[in-house]
Amino acid sequence: MNEDIKTLKDRVSNILKERELKQALLNWLSSQHGAGRRGMGPTSPDMRDYIATYDSQPPGPGITQAEQIVIKFGRPVLTVKDNSFDTAALTANEASRWWQARLDEARPRIEKNIPAVGRINLRNDPTYTWVGTGWLVGPDVVVTNRHVAEVFATKNSDGSYSLRRNFRKQQILPSIDFRMEFESDALNEFPIEAVLHIEEPGGPDVALLRLTTAGASAKAQLADPVSLSPEAPASGMQVGVIGYPGQNSQIPDPDVVRNIFGDIYDVKRLAPGAVMRADDTVIEHDASTLGGNSGSLVFSLETGKAVGLHFAGSYTTANYAVPSHVVVDRLARFAS
What is the C-alpha separation between 295 and 119, in angstroms, rounded? 9
Q: Is residue 95 pLDDT above 50, yes or no?
A: yes
| Nearest in space to 144 (alpha carbons), one of 285, 300, 309 | 309
Mean pLDDT of the region 258-267? 90
Residues of the chain with CATH 2.40.10: 118-211
CATH architecture label of 118-211: Beta Barrel (2.40)
The residue that leads in pLDDT, 29 or 53, is: 53
Percent of all residues in the chain with a pLDDT value above 90, rounded to a whole number: 72
What is the C-alpha separation between 120 and 97, in angstroms, rounded? 33
336: confidence class by pLDDT, cuts 50, 70, 90? confident
What is the C-alpha separation between 104 and 120, in angstroms, rounded? 28
**In the prediction, which pLDDT does 201 show?**
93
Q: Is the dihedral of CA 263, 265, 270, 276 positive or negative?
A: positive
pLDDT in tens, 279-307: 999 999 999 999 889 999 999 999 999 99
Q: Please state, as a whole number, how many other Cβ atoms lie within 10 Å of the Cβ of residue 252.
A: 8
Residue partners of 336: CB distance under 8 A and separation at least 6: none
| Nearest in space to 75 (alpha carbons), one of 270, 324, 312, 303 | 270
Radius of gyration of the chain (CA): 20
258: confidence class by pLDDT, cuts 50, 70, 90? confident
Three-class SS state of 110: helix
